């Protein structure tokens, strides 16, 4: 597998400067998971590096990039809707360059559809393209070739790509790319390619740079962080990487996602328990509480394995909490299977459940399975699960009320801008009254009540 270092494409920067004769403007919009958001931050970083200003709106931009998600059909439909809306901008400004990149454009059918139905799109760019973007833009501007640039799957790791991060407090730090797991419903291995780990030294360097720049909450990213290290010369696993990173001095919190239950270990739990810089929270997607469904999903663990790990975690570190992803309506899921999922969620007491209705992705194994449950029945299951979770989180949160936790102040509260919003270790949000100067700092907050999933607290004065 090829590993490259990013270097600024000065030649492209010069061509772009003389072509526009002013500072050109780019707009990048990302859809989907944290990895996609981080890819978008790289696209912006590279564009800025070769002379673009990054705009907050598409209107008036010289280059528009849509960085897309392919995990569910709904995400794709929404992206196509948004791409359709760009036609008006292209009509107003024929010099506008429009690019679609990310997971959707790694599928031939999508590129064909763009060619056929969205002829004003100039580029289809794939999911691993940031470093090549300046050269591609120059090629487009100088040749104005009509054809779309159809991406080739690229599994290269490119280090040191500049990033324009959305926040100055929280940052994503990818430790690996791709996925080899082939869960039967999932498109990710087809669009993101083989699993590949970044070298620990490159991760460490970026991590230290983030801390030096003042970041306080860093999330390590990967589709299955627990298999980090496979194929590397350096002999270390994910827990070793956590230990190595969290040894760097400073006041910060380290999180990660996503853990895969088949590879999550007791060693990882011990590592989290021992280090105060590691958040006592694991996002551990179980998908279903039925072993029959898990096996058909090709998840390679049983409910009993999952519960045993959670039990071990709670014994080792009582304050450790879990969140999860649940997929409802996988082909063949019966009411009994779903009841088992409800039961499992009750038993674990998740702090957060992200629920998804199964979406058929062509090319995956599950797409061949008969799916007889109606969308309505699936939606009804989700509603039941959400209602149960709402009751349960109120119960779980009772254990937090009256207690004081050190939280990172992230900014103004979502609805009431007179309040501030802070995050607990366990990823829960608390709103409280305080001075704006606290943003970016860790402060002790006493939890007073909970409304929906949001806690209300008061700043503890010493
Ligand atoms: N690598 C992570 C998840 C990545 S996708 C893991 O294995 O846990 C994030 C979530 O999207 C998944 O956990 C799953 O619940 C959901 N998802 C993936 N493919 C889906 C599909 N075809 N339909 C509906 N939800 C899906
Ligand atoms: Fe998809 Fe499974 Fe890989 Fe997660 S582990 S990205 S669900 S194939």
Q: Dump pLDDT digits (tens) for 30-72.
A: 999 999 999 999 999 999 999 999 999 999 999 999 999 999 9
Pocket perturbation via mutation, ligand 2, pick of 189, 225, 259, 356 by most ligand atoms within 8 A of CB:
189
pLDDT classification of 154: cutoffs 50, 70, 90:
confident
What percentage of residues in the chain have a pLDDT greater than 90?
A: 93
Q: Which atom of ligand 2 is nearest to the CA of 180?
A: 3
Q: How far is the CA of 300 from the centre of ligand 1 (A)?
A: 15
Ligand 2 binding site (Cβ under 6 Å of any ligand atom) = 179, 181-183, 186, 188-189, 223-224, 260
Q: What is the model's pLDDT at position 150?
A: 65
Ligand 1 binding site (Cβ under 6 Å of any ligand atom) = 71-72, 185-186, 188, 223-224, 258, 260, 285, 287, 325, 327, 356, 358-359, 361
Q: How far is the CA of 326 from the centre of ligand 1 (A)?
A: 8
pLDDT classification of 247: cutoffs 50, 70, 90:
very high
Q: Which atom of ligand 2 is nearest to the CA of 224?
A: 5
Q: What is the model's pLDDT at position 461?
A: 84
pLDDT classification of 151: cutoffs 50, 70, 90:
low
Tell the residue nearest (CA) to atom 8 of ligand 1: 285
Q: Which atom of ligand 2 is nearest to the CA of 260?
A: 5
In the predicted structure, residue 73 carries a pLDDT above the cut 80: yes
Sheet holding 170-174, edge to edge: 170-174, 217-221, 253-257
Q: How far is the CA of 122 from the centre of ligand 1 (A)?
A: 30
In the predicted structure, residue 7 carries a pLDDT above the cut 80: yes
In the predicted structure, residue 146 carries a pLDDT above the cut 70: no
What percentage of residues in the chain have a pLDDT greater than 70?
A: 99
**Phi then psi for 43, rounded to 5 degrees?**
-60, -45
Q: Dump pLDDT digits (tens) for 341-354.
A: 999 999 999 999 99
User: For the chain, what is the mean pLDDT?
Assistant: 95
Beta-strand relationship, 97-102 and 123-124: parallel
Q: What is the model's pLDDT at position 277?
A: 97
Burial status of residue 213 (CB atoms within 10 A of its CB: 0-12, 13-18, 19 or more) = exposed
Q: Which atom of ligand 2 is nearest to the CA of 192?
A: 6
Q: What is the mean pLDDT of residues 148-162?
A: 85
Q: What is the model's pLDDT at position 287?
A: 98
Q: Which atom of ligand 1 is nearest to the CA of 257?
A: 2
Sheet holding 352-357, edge to edge: 281-283, 321-328, 352-357
DSSP secondary-structure letter at 228?
Answer: T
Q: Dump pLDDT digits (tens) for 15-36.
A: 999 999 999 999 999 999 999 9
Helix (H) / strand (E) containing 280 = none
Q: What is the model's pLDDT at position 147?
A: 58
Contact status, residue 139 vs residue 159, Cβ threshold 8 Å? no
Q: What is the mean pLDDT of residues 199-225?
A: 97
Helix ranges restricted to H, 165-259: 188-192, 200-212, 238-246
Q: Distance from CA of residue 126 to its chain's centroid?
A: 17
- pTM listed for this prediction: 0.96
Tokens, residue 359: 């979406």
What are the beta bridge partners of residue 123? 99
Q: How far is the CA of 299 from the centre of ligand 2 (A)?
A: 9
Q: Which ligand is nearest to the CA of 191?
A: 2
Q: Dump pLDDT digits (tens) for 292-321.
A: 999 999 999 999 999 999 999 999 999 999
Q: How far is the CA of 71 from the centre of ligand 1 (A)?
A: 7
Report the distance separating Cα 244 and Cα 3, nearest Å: 22
Q: Dump pLDDT digits (tens) for 105-142.
A: 999 999 999 999 999 999 999 999 999 999 999 999 98
pLDDT classification of 149: cutoffs 50, 70, 90:
low
- Residue pointed to by tokens 């929404």: 78
In the predicted structure, residue 190 carries a pLDDT above the cut 90: yes
Pocket perturbation via mutation, ligand 1, pick of 72, 325, 368 by most ligand atoms within 8 A of CB:
325
In the predicted structure, residue 148 carries a pLDDT above the cut 80: no
Contact status, residue 285 vs residue 325, Cβ threshold 8 Å? yes
Q: How far is the CA of 187 from the centre of ligand 2 (A)?
A: 8
Tell the residue nearest (CA) to atom 13 of ligand 1: 325
Tell the residue nearest (CA) to atom 24 of ligand 1: 358
Pocket perturbation via mutation, ligand 1, pick of 177, 186, 228 by most ligand atoms within 8 A of CB:
186
Q: What is the model's pLDDT at position 152?
A: 73
Q: What is the model's pLDDT at position 96?
A: 96
Q: Which atom of ligand 1 is nearest to the CA of 285?
A: 8
Tell the residue nearest (CA) to atom 1 of ligand 2: 186
């Amino acid at each position: 597998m090829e590993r490259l270092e990013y270097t600024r494409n000065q030649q492209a920067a010069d061509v772009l400067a003389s072509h526009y004769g002013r500072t050109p403007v780019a707009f990048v919009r990302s859809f989907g998971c944290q990895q996609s958001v981080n890819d978008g931050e790289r696209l912006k970083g590279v564009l800025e590096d070769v002379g673009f200003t990054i705009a907050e709106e598409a209107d008036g931009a010289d280059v528009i990039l849509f960085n897309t998600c392919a995990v569910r059909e709904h995400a794709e439909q929404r992206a196509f809707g948004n791409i359709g809306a760009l036609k008006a901008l292209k009509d107003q400004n024929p010099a506008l360059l429009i690019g679609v990149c990310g997971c959707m454009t790694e599928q031939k059918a999508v590129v064909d559809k763009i060619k056929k139905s969205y002829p004003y799109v100039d580029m289809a760019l794939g999911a691993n393209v940031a470093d090549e973007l300046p050269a591609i833009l120059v090629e487009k501007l100088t040749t104005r070739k009509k054809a779309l640039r159809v991406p080739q799957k690229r599994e290269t790791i490119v280090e040191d790509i500049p990033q324009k991060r959305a926040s100055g407090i929280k940052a994503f730090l990818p430790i690996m790319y791709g996925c080899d797991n082939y869960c039967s419903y999932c498109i990710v291995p087809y669009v993101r390619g083989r699993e590949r780990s970044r070298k620990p030294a490159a991760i460490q360097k970026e991590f230290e740079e983030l801390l030096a720049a003042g970041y306080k909450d860093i999330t390590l990213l990967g589709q299955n962080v627990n298999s980090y290290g496979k194929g590397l010369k350096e002999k270390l696993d994910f827990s070793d990487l956590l230990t190595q990173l969290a040894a760097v001095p400073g006041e910060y919190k380290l999180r990660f996602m996503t853990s895969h239950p088949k590879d999550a270990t007791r060693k990882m739990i011990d590592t989290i328990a021992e280090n105060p810089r590691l958040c006592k929270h694991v996002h551990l997607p179980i998908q279903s509480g039925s072993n029959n469904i898990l096996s058909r999903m090709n998840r390679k663990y049983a409910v009993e394995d999952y519960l045993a790990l959670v039990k071990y975690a709670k014994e080792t570190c009582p304050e450790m909490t879990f969140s999860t992803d649940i997929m409802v309506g996988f082909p063949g899921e019966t009411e009994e299977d779903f009841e088992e999922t409800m039961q499992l969620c009750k038993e674990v007491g998740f702090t957060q459940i992200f629920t998804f209705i199964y979406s058929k992705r062509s090319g995956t194994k599950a797409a061949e399975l008969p799916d007889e449950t109606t969308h309505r029945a699936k939606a009804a299951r989700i509603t039941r699960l959400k209602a149960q979770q709402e009751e349960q989180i109120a119960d779980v949160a009772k254990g937090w009320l009256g207690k004081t936790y050190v939280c990172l102040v992230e900014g103004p509260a979502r609805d009431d801008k007179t309040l501030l919003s802070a995050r607990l270790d366990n990823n829960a949000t608390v709103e409280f009254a305080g001075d704006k100067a606290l943003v970016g700092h860790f402060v002790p907050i006493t939890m007073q009540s909970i409304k929906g999933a949001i806690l209300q607290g008061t700043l503890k004065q010493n």
